[in-house]
Amino acid sequence: MIKAILIFNNHGKPRLIRFYQYFAEDMQQQIIRETFHLVSKRDDNVCNFLEGGRRLIYRHYATLYFVFCVDSSESELGILDLIQVFVETLDKCFENVCELDLIFHMDKVHYILQEVVMGGMVLETNMNEIGGLSAAPARAVSAVKNMNLPEIPRNINIGDINIKVPSLSPLRPLRVLLCPPESDMGKVYYVSKNVGLGMLVLATIALATIIALSIAYDKERAKNRGKPENGATDSTSTPTPLTTSSTPKEPWDHYRLPDSLVPVSYNVTLWPRLEPDADGMYLFTGYSAVIFSCVKETDLIIIHSNKLNLSNFEGHHAKLSGLGDATAPNIQKTWLVVKTHFLVLQLRSALAVGASYVLYTEFQGELADDLEGFYRSEYTEDGVKKVVATSQMQATYARKTFPCFDEPAMKAVFNVTIFHDRGTVALSNGRETGTADSVIDGVPLRVTTFEPTERMSTYLLAFIVSDFVKIQSTQNNNLMIRIWARRKAIEEGQGDYALNVTGPILQFYEHYYNATYPLSKSDQIALPDFNAGAMENWGLVTYRETALLYDPIMSSTGNKERITTVIAHELAHMWFGNLVTLQWWNDLWLNEGFASYVEYLGADYAEPTWNIKDQIILSDVHKVFAVDALASSHPLSRREEEVNTPAQISEMFNTISYSKGAAVLRMLSEFLTEPVFAKGLSSYLNTFAFGNTVYTDLWDHLQQAVKNTPGMHIPHTVHNIMNRWTLQMGFPVVTIDTRTGSITQKHFLLDPDSVVDRPSQFKYESTGVEQQQHWLLQKTDAHIQMRVSGEDWVLANTNVSGYFRVNYDLDNWDRLLSLLSTNHQALSIINRAQIIDDAFNLARAKIINTTLALRTTKYLSKERDYIPWESALRNLDYYILMFDRTEVYGALQSYLKKQIQPLFEYFKTVTANWTKVPTGHTDQYNQINAIGMACSTGVDGCRELIKSWYRQWMESPHSNPIHPNLKSTVYCSALAFGGVEEWDFAWRMFKNATLASEALRLRSAMACTKAPWLLNRYLEYTLDPTKIRKQDATSTIQYIARNVVGMPLAWNFVRARWSYIFQHYGRGSFSFSNLVNGITKRFSTEFELQELKKFKEDNLHVGFGSATLALEQAIEKTSANIKWVTENKAHVLKWFTEEST
Ligand SMILES: [Zn+2]
């Protein structure tokens, strides 16, 4: 990536430009190799100088920043000349400079330069603190200091084009886009004008405090290929809509691969260096030969390659040869396109259709600790730093490991060889077929080869070199199952549980899918640094340690459940996703939704006593209802052409895809019945094995299964029914009037005043499923069985299998509430939870009143089951968040205290005065609720209990008396009621924790303290990777924001350092949007809304990446909160006051 920053002075007439060249490798450690140069206009040395930097990039895989400072004292040119010189220079020397920041104001030079560098995302600290960085920044500072400082120009004229400069904050750069903008910037209009350096295009973004000046320019390559310079000298001042002018001209400017070449197989050899080189860099080298066939005539080879330094063969980046009789055309030239991650080969003649060729590359890449592609993970064992080379290819990182056709439909067979240090073990997707000692380049090595993979997608590849050890078992069909982890973890038996459940879960799926496991081995490996929870690489599944390792003494029931469900989720993908793969990322929801649904089936098979299938209500259905009820939601399914760039792809990994996908597939399975669903699934998997599909292929096979099942009838095709759920966003609320039997439905919106601007071809008239398979096909319907009177009640959506909410007439609500208070067990556990959740949300949407919702919690003093309690606490949590800074909080607390007290006493009895563990799986969870809520509301005996446990632990750190199930709650409460002594003890225990889940509990609990200075100190720790691991930074900030004292501190912290956080921590898609969600959760005042909007505005130039949607949602939610608090505060205060006495 190349970014340019121009700091300039329009006051004088600049003649000389100082070029500062920075580049940074990992953002942790900046290295400045070359910094200062003085060149005059149109000096050829400019390119040489810049090219020098570019070569360094390729050597060091860095992001390159050019900082151009204009020295006004010697200048002769005006500002426009300056822009021209600058753009010409970039144009002449580069293809890939896409962004240019112009910094106008020079008022506080020292600070600005710091900000420049911040804006360019190089450094975050102030210049004085960058002691280790050679003299270069200091020289840059003093050079800028010596300039005459200009006024900010308000208007810039280039030819006929006038650019109005907004009243820029001196610290905010004006961004100039030098590449055609993304096609999704719908509000951009162009004015084009020939001003002698190609075509200048001015774009104004409607909302913007930014003016984007886009410069489209003809590429030399096009000329070389004999294409006319279309429009390059045409001038027009007519505004042209973006859609017509921004279509990329060249195949390599598109993000998608052309359809002319298809890979067949690869031979890939990789050699990761687990020791740094002389420059302190961790590298890997490798070579790859890909056999591909030509299916459409072309004289171009376009293949993905990103951040790889490719070796030169006679001036080209690759070698091409023909396979069999085919003769390879000569290569005319090769080049890299940084923006679209392509290596392009222009051939002198066309490839022959039907012929196959071999493309050979040699490359070097950085084994960075960026958690992307082939990367480096570090951990300490017995005081010794260890390095692991591991990988994460999904979605677009295989191209960062070796040149490849990196799209899911480009399946191929991979023959993998890994060179690695003796004493380490190499793993990949296939079983190891041989290992041999060798000496390469004078280095004694071990060479491991692997069996060829099945035909598979690049995003499922995995390569790992470590000194991990394993435990293993063999299934009856000779399937080898292994669990890999750090030696210590394995020796402590932490892999045993995973090994015990992996086999049964695989067997379950073989039966469920009616298809044998397609590979000869199943490896699961626990990694110290891992961005996602786990990744379903085919045959070599990678996990965070907390998602795989279970310590029978130290881990809680919740840890165990997570391990079971994550393994079940990943193994479900071995067939659904890996064997049969969706064509493109727009259908990600089907892949992830499916695995998120059947993980409950797999886990239930492994742990039948847990009733885990019920928990989908809490973990997915209710969770996604909250998001999908917003006007900013989006449909599950997107059109293929809407998802192109890596950023768009990574945005697909969201709650809607996972949890709504799971919820609607569960609904589908329930109304088709599980045997029919499984039958359709099996025929789908068998038909498309080793191939690719689109989501409608699954509907076809399910429809076929319906057809082949005697007596099975559904009122519409699977297509028609499911389209209503996948092509329109949101879900309905079904209203049943038991006085008349009428049933109506409408789109449920949490904020009834919100406006849905996303069109739906169905106008949100969804086809819902109703109780006992009553099909609701229209917006309104009547059903005689729904008409009841007297004591009779109606409860719809039994088993909560439908993806919708239910409302009733008031009489029926009253009857349901009275049933709850007299005999709540007449309703199933999940229906009790559903009544609470529906009522609270209907009240939020102003469909019923708030006190009706609150009344659903009155029976809780008799409730002992977990799921209804959890549902209530999550809903009441909203009241706590909205009111814990107001006078309502006192009454709310007394009410909760009254309701929780019986549960607390119940568990005290069940556990024989807290000495035993409750037997039921979910009872163990509810005990945690009881203690947590009892302590926070001040139930007698709770705080004393917690304090004494924690005190005992502090006195003898090696024998912790707190049961693992209760640790999170106890630690949090103890720290909330404790001071620095308790905190520092927790920190010491955190640093010494050998079990990841124990570290996680402590990390979360340390955010519970009420002392602002401890919270601020902790916030500082989050951005120091020696204190808090990079993968944990954003979640730690979120924990702090969860605390009423920590929230404003975290918000200030994040605002002040957004560009740094974004650059360094913005990659994990979930964690990053969670950060924004977490911090803004409590926002409920006009002032906070304004702050949020200003935050968005101020950071448009930095961007929000995968948090973009979350930020929009935060603004929407804050507005809704403001309204809700205004309307409800008085009623709520009154109700809690009355009910708490
Ligand atoms: Zn998944």
Detail the residues annotated as belonging to a binding site: 569, 573, 592
CA 625 to centroid of ligand 1, rounded, Å: 20
**By mean pLDDT, which of 311-315, 590-594, 697-701 is the weakest?**
311-315
Detail the residues annotated as belonging to a binding site for Zn(2+): 569, 573, 592
Calculate helix-pair angle for 888-910, 866-883, nearest 10 degrees: 150
Q: What is the per-residue pLDDT across 625-664, written as a single tens digit (0 to 9) for each?
A: 988 998 878 889 888 998 988 888 888 888 889 999 999 9
pLDDT class of 216 with cuts at 50, 70, 90: very low
**By mean pLDDT, which of 87-101, 434-448, 910-924 is the weakest?**
87-101
Q: What is the pLDDT of residue 776?
A: 57
**d(Cα 577, Cα 571) in Å, to the nearest integer?**
10
> Closest Cα partner for 341 from 378, 385, 373, 379?
373
Q: What is the pLDDT of residue 760?
A: 53
- Asked, for residue 407, whether it belongs to a domain, the answer is yes
pLDDT class of 786 with cuts at 50, 70, 90: low
- Asked, for residue 38, whether it belongs to a domain, the answer is yes
Q: What is the pLDDT of residue 741?
A: 80
Residue with tokens 């905190």: 983
Count CA within 13 A, CB hemisphere, residue 781: 19
- Residues 374 and 499 grouped into a single domain: no
CATH of the domain at 632: 1.10.390.10
- Residues 436 and 324 grouped into a single domain: yes
Active site residue 570: yes
% of residues, the chain, pLDDT over 70 = 74
- Residues 189 and 142 grouped into a single domain: yes
- Cβ distance 713 to 671 under 8 Å? no
CATH of the domain at 216: 3.30.450.60
- Asked, for residue 418, whether it belongs to a domain, the answer is yes
Q: What is the pLDDT of residue 716?
A: 83
The one-letter code for the residue type at 610 is: W
DSSP string, 782-845: E-GGG---TT-----SGGG-SSSEEEE-HHHHHHHHHHHHHHGGGS-HHHHHHHHHHHHHHHHT
* Number of other residues whose CB lies within 10 A of the CB of residue 401: 28
- Residues 436 and 313 grouped into a single domain: yes
> Active-site residue among 372, 570, 607, 651?
570
Q: What is the mean pLDDT of residues 875-895?
A: 95
Element (H, E) at 1054: helix 1046-1056
- Give SS3 for 644: coil
- Asked, for residue 57, whether it belongs to a domain, the answer is yes
CA 469 to centroid of ligand 1, rounded, Å: 26
- Asked, for residue 932, whether it belongs to a domain, the answer is no
Q: Would you give the DSSP letter of residue 404?
A: B
- Residues 291 and 226 grouped into a single domain: no
CA 610 to centroid of ligand 1, rounded, Å: 22
- Asked, for residue 1126, whether it belongs to a domain, the answer is yes
Residue 164 domain boundaries: 2-236
- Residues 716 and 643 grouped into a single domain: yes
pLDDT class of 57 with cuts at 50, 70, 90: very low
Q: What is the per-residue pLDDT across 472-524, written as a single tens digit (0 to 9) for each?
A: 999 877 899 999 999 999 999 999 999 999 999 999 999 999 999 999 999 99
Q: Which of 143-157, 185-199, 730-744 has the highest mean pLDDT?
A: 730-744
Q: Is the pLDDT of residue 824 over 80?
A: yes
- Residues 45 and 145 grouped into a single domain: yes
- Cβ distance 173 to 103 under 8 Å? yes
For 463, phi then psi, to 5°, come to -135, 125
CA 569 to centroid of ligand 1, rounded, Å: 6
Q: What is the pLDDT of residue 67?
A: 44
CA 572 to centroid of ligand 1, rounded, Å: 8
Q: Is the pLDDT of residue 1108 over 90?
A: no
The residue among 205, 236, 267 that closes a domain is: 236
Mean pLDDT in the chain? 78
The one-letter code for the residue type at 592 is: E
Q: What is the pLDDT of residue 555?
A: 84
- C-alpha distances out from residue 824 to 832, 903, 958, Å: 8, 15, 45
Q: What is the pLDDT of residue 781?
A: 62
CA 329 to centroid of ligand 1, rounded, Å: 42
- Residues 213 and 230 grouped into a single domain: yes
Q: How many folded domains does the chain comprise?
A: 6
**By mean pLDDT, which of 374-378, 976-980, 1030-1034 is the weakest?**
1030-1034
CA 593 to centroid of ligand 1, rounded, Å: 8
Q: Is the pLDDT of residue 723 over 90?
A: no
- Asked, for residue 890, whether it belongs to a domain, the answer is no
Q: Which of 4-8, 62-66, 721-725 has the highest mean pLDDT?
A: 721-725
- Residues 723 and 848 grouped into a single domain: no
- Residues 134 and 175 grouped into a single domain: yes
Q: Could you give the dihedral angle defined by the CA atoms of residues 221, 226, 228 and 233, in that order, rounded to the nearest 10 degrees?
A: 50
The residue among 839, 856, 873 that closes a domain is: 856
Residue with tokens 């990367």: 375
- Residues 1023 and 1070 grouped into a single domain: yes
- Residues 707 and 829 grouped into a single domain: no
Q: Is the pLDDT of residue 365 over 80?
A: yes
CA 621 to centroid of ligand 1, rounded, Å: 17
Q: What is the pLDDT of residue 1070?
A: 54
- C-alpha distances out from residue 749 to 845, 846, 850, Å: 6, 10, 16
Write the burial class of residue 1027 (CB in 10 Å: 0-12 exposed, 13-18 middle, 19+ buried): middle
